[in-house]
Chain A
């Protein structure tokens, strides 16, 4: 068995040449692309992570604002309730006061009317007394007749009253 030294050296040269050519024209660019993809995947992962965190913080924010608006709505309802109770009381109070005022007015009117009527009555009683006295004086009657007359006129006055 002998070693063929010609092909031995040619093989060494060919192999080194092949390695350099493959590196330059085939695998060099391929390595670059693979490295680019690796970087791409890494950046995608970090972007996704950032997005996730952002989404989480947004969600928290929204939950907070929702809670806040719920509280506000509750407060508004409470206030409205209180306001309505107060207003109702006010209305009732006003109505009561009005009623009392009206009643008082009515009583005053009644009193006025009554005193007016008494006044009128007093004036009329006076006038009649004068008229009765005139009649008595006109007739000059005896005591018996006089008593009859007084009774008669009193009866007349009393009938008018």
Chain B
């Protein structure tokens, strides 16, 4: 349906729309946070400050529900960044998308993005040569950024487990018996996959459905509104789920539970 503006740098594929949207989402989060904490006051906080403090409290409670708050304090900043970034990223693709239409071969930074053969192929399939490049979307609707976040937090949880909880961390792979070692390894691998894929799948599916509903032209207005509203909900839930799972994994690896499965 849509093509992505992918170029290759040293053999690595770089989806420029993802890069663009990662930057946009990060900038929005940063600007929001800076505006929200501009006029800080101890005794008379403004509305924006109250909102930012509410986010801090929310994330603190979330961490407190998964681990000892003494250890959890260090992860408040991680939780806040995760939840704000993922929420904003999820929202970006909802109100609109920006695509460019190309009827000629299109090149970017020396890489051919829309080739003549591709256009010919499209013409053969649809009867006209017209390629769409999608520029504006949720960065979390691609596997690259979501797996990046997933790998980041899973790596962090393992790192913390190894450095702060060494004995228990290595022992737990062989409990209740050494036979369980493969299962533990699979569990760890599945953690990484599920946390990243879940986010990607939810947001990607949401945007796909928006694109599908748009094909229905006028008939699609009411379902589109309903689905966009629901997607806001999904986006918020997924941001929350990602953050709490991160904290649960970190909590699991830094606490000394005796009956850990």
Residues of A within 8 A of B (CB): 1-12, 14-19, 21-23, 25-27, 29-31, 33-34, 36-37, 40
Bitwise interface map of B from 31 to 59 toward A, beta carbon under 8 Å scored 1, else 0: 00110110011110100010011001000
| A26 engages B33 (CB within 8 Å) | yes
**Which chain A residues border B40 with CB–CB below 8 Å?**
29-30, 33
How long is the Cα–Cα vector from A3 to B196 in the complex, in angstroms? Answer: 12
How long is the Cα–Cα vector from A34 to B42 in the complex, in angstroms? Answer: 7
Q: A4-B13, A4-B14, A6-B19 are in contact. Are A25 and B34 (CB under 8 A)?
A: yes
**Which chain A residues border B26 with CB–CB below 8 Å?**
14-15, 17-18
- Selected contact of B30 from candidates A3, A22, A37, CB within 8 Å: A22
Which residues of B in the span 73-129 have a Cβ within 8 Å of any Cβ on A?
76-78, 80-81, 84-85
Tell me which of B23, B56, B148, B152 has the highest count of chain A C-beta atoms within 10 A of its own C-beta: B148
**Which chain B residues border A9 with CB–CB below 8 Å?**
12, 148
For the complex with contacts A11-B145, A27-B52, 7 further pairs of A-B residues with Cβ separation under 8 Å are A4-B4, A4-B142, A7-B142, A15-B148, A15-B149, A26-B30, A33-B45
How long is the Cα–Cα vector from A31 to B55 in the complex, in angstroms? Answer: 12
Residues of B within 8 A of A (CB): 4, 6, 9, 12-15, 18-19, 22-23, 26, 29-30, 33-34, 36-37, 40-43, 45, 49, 52-53, 56, 76-78, 80-81, 84-85, 139, 142-145, 147-149, 151-152
**Which chain A residues border B23 with CB–CB below 8 Å?**
14
**Which chain A residues border B36 with CB–CB below 8 Å?**
26
| A27 engages B143 (CB within 8 Å) | no
Q: A12-B148, A22-B30 are in contact. Are A36 and B42 (CB under 8 A)?
A: yes
**Which chain A residues border B152 with CB–CB below 8 Å?**
12, 15-16
A-B CB contacts (within 8 Å), total count: 123
How long is the Cα–Cα vector from A23 to B78 in the complex, in angstroms? Answer: 9
Return B207 CB to nearest CB of chain A, in Å: 15
- Chain A at the B interface: SS class: helix
Name the residue of chain B whose CB is nearest to the CB of A31.
Answer: B56
| A7 engages B33 (CB within 8 Å) | no
Return B54 CB to nearest CB of chain A, in Å: 11
How long is the Cα–Cα vector from A37 to B50 in the complex, in angstroms? Answer: 13
**Which chain A residues border B77 with CB–CB below 8 Å?**
19, 22-23, 27
Q: A22-B33, A26-B34 are in contact. Are A7 and B56 (CB under 8 A)?
A: no
Name the residue of chain B whose CB is nearest to the CB of A5.
Answer: B12
**Which chain B residues border A17 with CB–CB below 8 Å?**
26
- Selected contact of B147 from candidates A3, A16, A36, CB within 8 Å: A3
**Which chain B residues border A15 with CB–CB below 8 Å?**
26, 81, 85, 148-149, 152
| A6 engages B144 (CB within 8 Å) | yes
How long is the Cα–Cα vector from A9 to B204 in the complex, in angstroms? Answer: 20
How long is the Cα–Cα vector from A34 to B152 in the complex, in angstroms? Answer: 29
